[in-house]
A and B are shown apart, each in its own frame.
Chain A
Amino acid sequence: MESISVAVFFPFAVAVAVPYFANRHRSIAAWMAMLAPVVSLWALVLLYGEWSAAGRGALLYSFSWVPSAGLDVSFLVDGLSIMWGFLVAGVAFLIVLYSNFYLHEHEDLGRYYGWLIAFMGSMMGVVFADHLLTLFISWELTSVTSFFLIGFWSDREAALYGSQKALLITGGGGLAMLAGFLLLGQATGEWHLSKLIAMSGVAGKVSLAAFVLIILGAATKSAQWPFHIWLPNAMEAPTPISAFLHSATMVKAGIYLLSRFYPILGEHPAWGYIVIGLGMTTMIAGGLLSLRAYDLKAILAYGTISQLGLIVTFLGYGGQEAIIGSTLHLYNHAAAKAAMFMIVGIIDHETGTRDVRLLDHLARRMPRAHILAVLAAISLIGVPPMGGFLTKEMLYGVSIHPGGPGEWAAFWPWLTLAAGIITALYHLRFLGAPFWTPAEGTSPKPGHDPSTGFLAAPAILVALAIAFGVAPGLIEGTFVAPAAEATLGGGGHLEFHLALWHGVNQPLVMSIITVAAAGFLYWKLDWVSGILDAVAEMWKKGPGPNKAYDGAIFILKERTWPLLLSLQDGNLRRYLRWSMTVPALLLLAAALWLDWGEGIWPAFSGATFIGASVCILISISALATALFPGRLPAILALGTAGYAIASLYVVLKAPDLALTQIMIESASIILFLLAFWFLPEIKIIPKPLSRRARDWGIAIFLGASSAAGMALAMNSHNLRTIADYFFLTSKPIAGFQNVVNAIIVDYRGYDTLGEITVLVISGVAIHAMLRIVGTMQDEGEGH
């Protein structure tokens, strides 16, 4: 219990505390922020111990939160969430370490580290959440925190655009996911992931709509085509943020969601088609877009999109080998891509630009950064002995024997091979363009290798990328196998052994073809660029996801003014007309819920002569108030209505009300007469008949629905309040014979005190205002 709470909640505590200290003691800001990942990692180590001791199944830690609503905070600890927890906290640690070198002295460190650590906590919430709604809340928190991180340099237009885009797309996807969760919860009656995983045949009960909505959540977060458009714009964030959110964690939340739901929805007939289709399209589209980018971070962003597509494709294929492959590739990609982002950050920091056209033979001036970049890139190209080679082989192997939709089986190996070649090609370009080739322009600064500390974080990551390839056993039994078991549904232990060398087989042949083809295409890169540019030129006028997004935003921002102005035009009486019409409509809507059986309307009997005549008098005087043109007749009519209502209170057996009403009515009339003395005569402004008819129409509509509602309500005798208690205790407790009095001065004494206070306050206000009016008279008009 304690360790999981610390792992998830401690980052939030740090996130709240950091802004207070960071800007006052700038030198310690990073070290304070580092507390969060360090403590979380330590808690995770303890948790790992608890979990191992408990047999490495699924552990549940829960405590109730809103018991009346059936909400609880429960954490699901199994192989998958443990693995993700270590991934998030581990990368966060390196990112904070690196940020300390990257950020300039004058930046707002408190805001930076605060949001960064809050993001880390939200991610922890996502991966450990058991309840669907807790998962959703954490999920949206990652969107919100990333919004602030992408827009960290809030004086840049592009950063604002990027952060808004990311928030709208990922936040919107989260809402779709929530709708999917609600449908899922209703279909199965279960809201806990742990129970859903244990339940059999969930996929059969879930509608296609629920399935698509949940996948939509994953697809937007993981930047799958056509929702990938937010990721390149999110590169406006400081580079460590890009490395953290947009390579290792946030975009992978979608992958986590798919892995988490694989045992629940993997059997769904649409899973293979939708998920493979999504992944494969994204993998190829991302790769091609990367080839056309010139900003190093954009090259990496599109590369990330492509790599996410690869992992999604794995999950789409399904089956043991594919799940192991996807799990392992998460590590490979997180390590290599975060390292590459950090190296880009270093290049940016040292040369002042990220535009590859301005970077000239950097390998000569930044040899150490160059070596790290090469090692990271060849891991993702899939060259032994790097970890990426293993997963690339596995992907090829899976594509030959896919578990997905059978009828397309013949295409998968070819498509996968094409995607692999494109992947290798854009990674070669990522290396070649800045490090190996001459520049078209000159960079602001010549650039040189940075300090060792700056290189430490990427170096650690590259070392890990090598370790995952050379000695996959390091993570195989501890993380990969339990995570894959959990993804496959938690049944039984997996027996497999990862190794670099599998002998000469089809995947190896495909790997060799990949590297050879990519090498050839890189040699002829001008051709490739020429073809891509020509296609882009042709498609310039065609539709695209970015155009759709910008168009939608334009419509929302600009085209909605007429609607807004027509609803909120500042015309008080229009608002009033709405306020009158809507309640009447609501009453009508409520009428639909009623049981229109026999005897729902009251009988036309039981009226006394006095009662009936008083009612008629009230009605006539009320209408007269509305219709009399002069002010004095109107006041008198209002007074008549008031006194008649006092008599009606007598009929209704409310003597106290009758007395009060008489006194208050007298006072009101005097007040009205006083005020009207100063106000001008009511001039009836000639109004078109249509306007009058409209006003009367609304008024009669509201009046008629109130009358009908009242008749229905009074006829149902379910309105007895707590009156019995008052009757039985009025005398013994309060000493009153008059129960209304007892309520006013005793049972609800504080209420009456409040009422008197209101009266006094309004009296004071009236007095003050009248004095102002008096001074105005003395000064201005001179009565």
Chain B
Amino acid sequence: MMEEIALIFTSYNIFYILAGLGMTLIIAVVTLFGGTLLGTVLALFNTYGKHTGKIAAVIVEIFRNTPLLLWVFVAIAAVPLPSLLSRALVATVIFNAAIISEIIRGGLNSIPKGQIEAGRSQGFSFIQIMIYIILPQTFRRIIPTLTSQCITIIKDTSYLAQIGIAELMFVVKKLMSTANTFTGHPITAQDVFILFGTAAVIYFVINFSLSVAVRKMQKKIDITVK
């Protein structure tokens, strides 16, 4: 087992895995921020718009009831952007925007309506009320849920291995399928175990830290509410 580990983790392969991890994190960060930005717009339409609200609600339902991988495939076939990665990011951002907009909507509904009227009476415009009064409070309340969604986003980046984007899952899978070139013997279940096990540990460390943070934040919120 130790020999096998030494054979597999050449410095080149370690670097390759780290590059894959970097790609995973880049995809996750772009998806989280893009999704939150677009999700906020969707949530505002959904909560305060009349006709636009219905359209936003339909968009949200469509994405909530279909798999991410479908949208990745659709984006690859239909989005007129140069690289595979940028097309895939369009899919992950829009898909997560729909999910995140539901989280934000829950937050928006928990803010008393009187605050909007109070803002109006002070001469704030609707957009000013949102930016200075409503959204800051909303985000403070939904940060734990949003962090949970971040875990989902990190896990879901692994779907992009299917379209050949060199993120962590793809990298590990590729190393596994070429393991015979650096171990010098045909691929064994042990190689699968070592490589996929490594990936599992990496994903776990990141996501578990986030989930511990979520629990801490929730406890804090529970205490302040009590």
A pairs with B: no
Chain B residues in the interface with A (C-beta under 8 A) = none
